Each structure stands twice: as structure tokens, then as C-alpha cells.
Amino acid sequence: MASKNPKQSLTEMNELVLPNDTNTLGNLMGGRLLHWMDIVSAIASQKHSNNVVVTVSVDFVSFTESIKLGELVNLRAKVTRAFKSSMEVWIEVFAENIPEGTRKKCNEAFYTFVAVDVNNHPITVNEIVPETADEQLMFESAMRRRQVRLIQAKRMKPEDAPELKDFFGF
């Protein structure tokens, strides 16, 4: 199926941290943020594949800064690379304190989605065409991240991951 989005198009989502989203310290709970990241990256991969997608893997999640009650959470997602039926999405999260006029990057993660048909069978998606140098880097490194996650999931043997071997020199 033809994709309307062969590029690494940006998908954005905004959320306001409300009391029910926080722990007793008034910080956004990690699970709520993972849920929002799942939604924004599902939208990005649906837009690329023009199809229903399911989450198959979540990895390289970092929580570097806490996000406070009342802050605006800006989530930015891009499909870095599409393989056969799966797509890797990179999500960056920023927290904005509107009254203070501050904005900081708080988190990032990679989610992998698979486009499926009505019977939950994987279907082929179109490739991504990187345009900028940064996009090209993300595109190339996506192959190594895919190999790491497939090895961890026991779906690939390390000896079948040439890009990883070359990169780490083993």
C-alpha cells in the first residue's frame, strides 16, 4: 500500500499533567508517560503505514528529568525506519512550564510497531526515505537497534547480525 509519509514526518501530541497523573511527590508517573508515548508513536506509525498497528517492543527508555504537576508535556514522534511489517519510532519528550517560560527535554524512547490486517497478521509497509543527515544517522542505527531487540527476544542469533558485529568489532 502506498504510504502518504515516506519521510520521517513529525507527529506531535501535548498533554497537561493533572493531579491524577502524579505520584505523591507531584511528579508525573512513569507509567502514564509510557502510555502517552505509546499513543503518539502509534499515531506516527499508523500515519506511515496507513494501517492499524500494534506495539511489539519498547526499549532504550530513559527518564532523565522529572515532570511536575501543571507542566505541559510535548511528545514528538518520528518513524526512523520501516522494515518489512515493523516500524521503529523515536519519541522525544519535553516538559514546558508555561508561567515560568521554561522548556526541557525529559525523556526519550524507541517503540516498535507492526502493521497488521484484520486477522492480526503482519502486513508489508513502505520504506522510510531519510532526508537530512540526522535522519540518515537514525535510519542507519535503526538496523543495529532492531538486531539488539531481536537478539534479546531470541528471534535472531548474534552471528546473523552483521551490522552489530561491524559496529562493535566482534
Output 4 or 35, the one with its CB closest to ligand COA.
35
Q: How far is the CB of 150 from ligand COA (least distance, A)?
A: 6
Within 8 A by CB and 6+ apart from 159, the residues are 165
Within 8 A by CB and 6+ apart from 134, the residues are none
Reported as type and span, the H/E element at residue 15 is strand 10-16
Q: How far is the CB of 15 from ligand COA (least distance, A)?
A: 20
Q: How far is the CB of 136 from ligand COA (least distance, A)?
A: 20
Q: How far is the CB of 164 from ligand COA (least distance, A)?
A: 14
Euclidean distance between CA atoms 28 and 92, whole angstroms: 16
Considering just the CA atoms, what is the radius of gyration of the chain in Å? 17
Q: Which residues bind ligand COA (CB under 6 A)?
A: 54-57, 83-86, 112, 114, 116, 120, 122, 149-150, 153, 155
Output 56 or 72, the one with its CB closest to ligand COA.
56
Output 55 or 97, the one with its CB closest to ligand COA.
55
In three state form, how does the secondary structure of 58-118 look?
EEEEEECCCCECCCEEEEEEEEEEECCCEEEEEEEEEEEECCCCEEEEEEEEEEEEEEECC
Output 22 or 85, the one with its CB closest to ligand COA.
85
Output 55 or 126, the one with its CB closest to ligand COA.
55
Q: How far is the CB of 88 from ligand COA (least distance, A)?
A: 8
